[in-house]
Structure 1
Amino acid sequence: MMIDGTYTGVIDRIVDDETAVILIEADGEVRDQRTLPVERVPEDARKEGSVLAVTIEGGEIERLEYRPEETEERRESAQERLDRLGSRLSEKSEE
């Protein structure tokens, strides 16, 4: 169980347009997974990979705040990693 506080949450997936699966991170690692009705997630954050500030009180999620800048940074970072991996793989296939 997560202790009360504010954590980084990432939308892992939306199931049947009804349930949001949120990975809760602390110290850069996934520490918990929570599910919520998708209506509780800010509308502009209702997509895979969206980063949220998740406030937990009494062991329950009390507040979600969408972080669009962090979401974009993570997407760009992931794309850069994929691009690097792709270029390494194509170099190996040319050998």
Structure 2
Amino acid sequence: MDSRQLTGVIDRFEGDLAVVLLEADGDVVDETTVERDELPEDAAHANAVLSVTLAEDTVLDVTYDDEETTQREQDARERFDRLAERPPSDENDS
């Protein structure tokens, strides 16, 4: 049985299941579910980035990528901050 490794991002929790969006080359290509108690302890939150090993549609292994999670959170915060900045007002137009 061939396995493949994808990046996964926890989208949400539905009861005891984590819904994980699977990415390939930066695009969401599929989703899967993982039992909450099968997640690494520090990955049990929305937007956690995971390395997911799949065989067919079966999840074989999940590891938490702390560095990528932190980087994505920082990038999102920077985008939000840029969008939240007000354009300079032109006080000379009075």
TM-score tier by shorter-chain length is 0.7 to 0.9
User: What code does the residue aligned with 2:6 have?
Assistant: Y
**2:13 aligns to what?**
14
Gaps of 5+ in 1: none
User: What code does the residue aligned with 2:70 have?
Assistant: E
Residues of 1 paired with 2:34 and 2:69: CA distance? 19
**2:87 aligns to what?**
91
Residues of 1 paired with 2:3 and 2:35: CA distance? 21
Equivalent residue for 1:29, pick from 27, 30, 34? 27
* Superposition misfits of 4+ residues, deviation over 2 angstroms: none
Alignment: residue pair count: 89
Identity %: 39
**1:47 aligns to what?**
45
Say which SS state the counterpart of residue 87 (structure 2) adopts: helix
Which structure carries more helix by proportion? 1
**2:4 aligns to what?**
5
Residues of 1 paired with 2:8 and 2:72: CA distance? 12
Correspondence 1:54-69 to 2 at 5 A: 54-69=52-67
What's the CA shift for 1:4?
3.3
Q: Given the two structures, how large is their TM-score scaled by the length of structure 1?
A: 0.86
CA RMSD of aligned residues (A): 1.6
